[in-house]
Structures are given as C-alpha cells and as structure tokens.
Amino acid sequence: MTVQTTGSNGNGHGSSVPEEIDYDDPRTTRFEKVKAAARQDGVDIVHYEPQFPERGSRLEKRMSRSVAFMFLLVGLFGTAFVVLYIVWPWRYEQGDVMMKYYTPLLGATLGLALLFLAFAILTWGKKLLPKEVSIQDRHDGGAPEGDRRAVGQTLAYMVEELGVKRRPLLGLAAAAGLAPVAVVVAAPLVGGLIKNPHADNQMFTTGWSPIKEPNGGTRLVRLTRDDGTPIRPADVSAGGQMTVFPGIPEGATNAHADSPTLLIHLRPDDAAVARANNVKGTGHDKFDRSDFMYGDYIAYSKICTHAGCPASLYEQQTNRLLCPCHQSQFLITDNAKPVFGPASRSLPQLPLDVDEEGYFVARSDYQATVGPDFWERP
C-alpha cells in the first residue's frame, strides 16, 4: 500500500513536498514509515534521540542488566508473598508469636515487589527508550484505512523500540518477574475458596460461645440486658423486641462488639411462618435451623452483613429489620434473608433455649459468620 504524505521543510513542520511511502516495501525502515505516517496524521517528530547512539554498548548492557535485576527482584518478592500466604501460620493461638508476623510479612513482600516493579518500569522508560518530541495539529473526522495501517506500523515500532528482541535478557527477566505478580493477584482470591477460613478458628467466635467449665463440661451463656440482668420469655411482649448481650464479663462492651443480638417475640401466625422456614435446607445459607427458635421467640445478630452497621429498626407489621446506614432490609420470618438494599447475606440466627431457672440462654454460638466478611462473597 502506497500513501502520499508531505515532507519536512527542515524546521520540524510539514511542507507541500509530496512524499510516497510504501508500507509493504521491505527496503523502507520502520522508523521512516512511522515518520511518514505521523506527517500524514499531522504529527511532526521534531526531535528523536536514542539513549545510546551505539547499539550494544557496554553502558547499554549495564543498564539492561540493572533493569533485568529489578524484574528478578519483583519475581523474588512476589514468589515470597505466595509462599508466605500458603505456608506461614496465620490462625490465632494463645502465645503464638509467628502468627503476629503473617500480615506484616505479606505487606512487606508485596510492597517490595510493587516497588521494584515501578523502579524497573521507570528505569526502562528513562534510561533505555529513545527521547522523542512530537507536535500534532488537532483534526476532526474518522480514521481512513491509511491511518489505521499507520497506527499499526507505529505500534509495531514502539514494541521494537522497547528493545526486547535485541535485549533478550530484559524480556526473560520481565516475564520471570511479572509471572509471580500475577500469582500474587490470584492467590488471595483462590486461597479464600479452597478452605473455609472461619472453621475452628478462635478469631471467628463471639461472646455466645458456650463457656468451658473446670470440670470439663460447658455452661450455656445467658441472654442479658446491657446492665447484665438475665431475661425471661415474659419480659418481651408479643410483637416486641429487645437488644440482648452475652451474660459474661464485659459482654455488653466493645470487648464483644460482635455479639449484640436482637431478641424478637413474634406473634403466633408470624412465628409459625418463621418456624416453617427454619427447617433444614430452606435457609439462605443452608444451615439447619429447625430447633433455633424457642416457642415464638427468635434472635438474630444486629450486625448488618453489608458493612457492619447496627440493623436495629424492627417493623412489626412487615417483620422486616432495617439497617439505617444503607437501607438494607431483612425478612425476619424467612431466616432474616435480605429483601432490599446492598446486603447479600442473611443475618446469622442465634439458637435459643431456656435454662432450669427460666432464663434465656444461647444453645450454641452463631453458626454463620457475624457481619461482613471475605468468605461469603456476593
């Protein structure tokens, strides 16, 4: 394909001297094609200067090795991140010192990988790519076929100027360095799907977990008011609700900020609907809730599963629980399933019972994770 362009008048701006460039002519260098294509599009390359006039010089090779070394460091720290993510102990255990370094080590290795990646890209651009100054006039309209061919030649020339073909060490180092970075991006996403991170983990229990007694038995936790007084079923009237806390030391303080629970006394008809929806397999998260209710009483976590705000506005007529922060609504009679707003997961339900003295107790801890988290993704 032959394209007619205008030549240069010597001062960097186009003149009326016609110039024909055959993009398919192998005798024409790619740079000449790029210059012609640029002039055709109203762009004048007024300055072009290679970083190294002599290709393959010792200085160029030394700079290429420096950039390659940076890419290898990117790969080293990226690989270290993936290894630490997989093998380093992260579960909370009393007195475990190694667990405390899990997050700092992940942050340090990922930070160093991204730091050296930035240095490698900047050094490559500043020290190896040629210096160029171009001037372009504005124009309107779509691009004709000739312009599209010109853009193709320009992009090919840009790839050629990266120097990967004549600097194979840079290409190999970049590939070796960026491959672990791709794994770094995928590791947390894939790793969170391999195994439930909440299983048997002390960090994901609340104040409702049964208390272990010195004799080896367990004691169920009572539902109490914020002043620590226990609650009987008669204390909550039909259609009413009450915020309850675990009856343990500091149960109503920030030490157990994940434990506030809404105890609701449903009307008989509504309780029958809720009880029917509590059978195995019908819940939003498929937990067996067939024995979670006590009579017409039901209890759900007050921590919204969207952003952790207190979902505490209970509407008796519709049996909906509203979170005032982002307007998520949960249907209490259907396993607190979200029916409106950004929340995508049901509120966890607390299993209820009454002890020998007639006070409410939690039969176990929550069976689902309280509040927003990274395991139950929308």
User: Are both 288 and 224 inside the same structural domain?
Assistant: yes
For the cut 60, the answer to whether the pLDDT of residue 34 exceeds it is: yes
Alpha helices (runs of H) in 4-144, residue ranges in sequence order: 30-40, 58-87, 102-123
Q: Domain boundary residue among 136, 154, 185?
A: 136
**Is residue 177 in some structural domain?**
no
Element (H or E) spanning 189, and its range? helix 168-194
User: Are both 218 and 355 inside the same structural domain?
Assistant: yes
> Which range marks the domain in which residue 132 is found?
58-136
What's the confidence (pLDDT) of residue 354? Answer: 94
**Is residue 169 in some structural domain?**
no
For the cut 60, the answer to whether the pLDDT of residue 6 exceeds it is: no
- pLDDT one-digit tens code per residue, 238-265: 889 999 999 999 888 888 888 999 999 9
CA dist 356 and 225 (Å) reads: 19
For the cut 80, the answer to whether the pLDDT of residue 169 exceeds it is: no
Average pLDDT on 326-334 reads: 91
User: Are both 218 and 337 inside the same structural domain?
Assistant: yes
pLDDT-based confidence at residue 360 (cuts at 50, 70, 90): very high
Rounded percentage of the chain residues whose pLDDT exceeds 90: 27
Q: Domain boundary residue among 96, 119, 136?
A: 136
User: Are both 289 and 355 inside the same structural domain?
Assistant: yes
User: Are both 218 and 345 inside the same structural domain?
Assistant: yes
Count of domains for the chain = 3
Query: Closest by alpha carbon to 175, among 74, 62, 106?
Result: 74
Higher pLDDT among residues 204 and 74, named by residue: 74
What's the confidence (pLDDT) of residue 16? Answer: 41
For the cut 50, the answer to whether the pLDDT of residue 12 exceeds it is: no
User: Are both 67 and 95 inside the same structural domain?
Assistant: yes
Written as six digits, the tokens of 233 are 């079923």
The one-letter amino acid at 76: L
What's the confidence (pLDDT) of residue 294? Answer: 92
CA dist 130 and 162 (Å) reads: 9
Average pLDDT on 157-164 reads: 70
User: Are both 322 and 340 inside the same structural domain?
Assistant: yes
**Is residue 262 in some structural domain?**
yes
**Is residue 155 in some structural domain?**
no
Average pLDDT on 97-126 reads: 90
**Is residue 332 in some structural domain?**
yes
Average pLDDT on 103-126 reads: 91
For the cut 70, the answer to whether the pLDDT of residue 142 exceeds it is: no
Written as six digits, the tokens of 123 are 């050094």
For the cut 50, the answer to whether the pLDDT of residue 60 exceeds it is: yes
What's the confidence (pLDDT) of residue 200? Answer: 53
Query: Closest by alpha carbon to 256, among 329, 157, 365, 134?
Result: 365
What's the confidence (pLDDT) of residue 141? Answer: 64
CA dist 221 and 224 (Å) reads: 9
Q: Domain boundary residue among 136, 157, 188?
A: 136
What's the confidence (pLDDT) of residue 157? Answer: 74
User: Are both 244 and 116 inside the same structural domain?
Assistant: no
For the cut 60, the answer to whether the pLDDT of residue 343 exceeds it is: yes
What's the confidence (pLDDT) of residue 47? Answer: 82
**Is residue 248 in some structural domain?**
yes
**Is residue 15 in some structural domain?**
yes
What's the confidence (pLDDT) of residue 97? Answer: 80
CB-based contact 180:75 (threshold 8 Å): yes
In the predicted model, what is the mean pLDDT of the chain?
80
User: Are both 223 and 357 inside the same structural domain?
Assistant: yes
For the cut 50, the answer to whether the pLDDT of residue 14 exceeds it is: no
CA dist 51 and 319 (Å) reads: 72
Longest CA–CA separation in the chain, Å? 104
Where does residue 110 rank: exposed (0-12), middle (13-18), buried (19+ CB within 10 A)? buried
For the cut 90, the answer to whether the pLDDT of residue 281 exceeds it is: no
Element (H or E) spanning 315, and its range? strand 313-315
What's the confidence (pLDDT) of residue 235? Answer: 93
Written as six digits, the tokens of 376 are 């139950």
User: Are both 66 and 10 inside the same structural domain?
Assistant: no
**φ, ψ of residue 323 in degrees (nearest 5):** -95, 120
- pLDDT one-digit tens code per residue, 291-300: 899 999 999 9
For the cut 90, the answer to whether the pLDDT of residue 193 exceeds it is: no
User: Are both 111 and 13 inside the same structural domain?
Assistant: no
User: Are both 127 and 226 inside the same structural domain?
Assistant: no
DSSP notation for 151-167: HHHHHHHHHHHTTTTT-
- CATH, residue 265: 2.102.10.10
Alpha helices (runs of H) in 226-309, residue ranges in sequence order: 268-277
What's the confidence (pLDDT) of residue 164? Answer: 66
Higher pLDDT among residues 196 and 131, named by residue: 131
pLDDT-based confidence at residue 197 (cuts at 50, 70, 90): low
What's the confidence (pLDDT) of residue 283? Answer: 45
**Is residue 94 in some structural domain?**
yes
pLDDT-based confidence at residue 132 (cuts at 50, 70, 90): confident
What's the confidence (pLDDT) of residue 302? Answer: 92
